[in-house]
């Protein structure tokens, strides 16, 4: 299984810290609001292919909205 992250759209407050933290600029902000009125962080399937599983994005997220699954 490849490295991947899962961002909880509903937990995300749209702070953008994970966007800055990703050393490969893989995360972006959605143009669609979540149900709380925030623009959540998202990652495209193409971008996910470059994820190294470093966990930086998850470590900086104040809302624990990101899970990282590392390649075995
Ligand atoms: S785990 Fe690392 S490489 Fe993957 S999206 Fe998060 S910060 Fe970027
Ligand atoms: S750091 Fe967490 S709360 Fe902030 S945009 Fe990223 S996923 Fe959302």
Q: Whose CA is nearest to atom 3 of ligand 1?
A: 51
For the residues 11-37, what does the mean pLDDT come to?
98
DSSP 8-52: -TTT-----HHHHH-TT---EE-SS--TTS---EE--HHHHTT--
Domain count across the chain: 1
pLDDT at residue 1, rounded to an integer: 72
pLDDT at residue 68, rounded to an integer: 98
Report yes or no: 41 and 30 within 8 Å, Cβ to Cβ.
yes
Choose among 55, 52, 28: nearest CA to 42: 28
Reported as a pLDDT band with limits 50, 70 and 90, residue 69 is: very high
Report yes or no: 68 and 48 within 8 Å, Cβ to Cβ.
no
Domain carrying residue 21:
4-69
**Domain containing residue 42: CATH number:** 3.30.70.20
What is the best residue among 46, 53, 60 to mutate for testing ligand 1's pocket, by most ligand atoms within 8 Å of CB?
53
**Percent of the chain whose predicted confidence (pLDDT) is above 70:** 100
| pLDDT of residue 72 exceeding 90 | no
């Amino acid at each position: 299984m490849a490295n991947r992250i899962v961002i909880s759209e509903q937990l995300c407050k749209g702070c953008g810290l994970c966007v800055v933290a990703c050393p490969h600029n893989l995360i972006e902000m959605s143009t669609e609001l979540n149900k709380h009125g925030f623009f959540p962080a998202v990652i495209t399937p193409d971008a996910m292919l470059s994820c190294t599983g470093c966990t930086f994005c998850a470590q900086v997220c104040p809302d624990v909205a990101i899970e990282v699954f590392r390649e075995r």
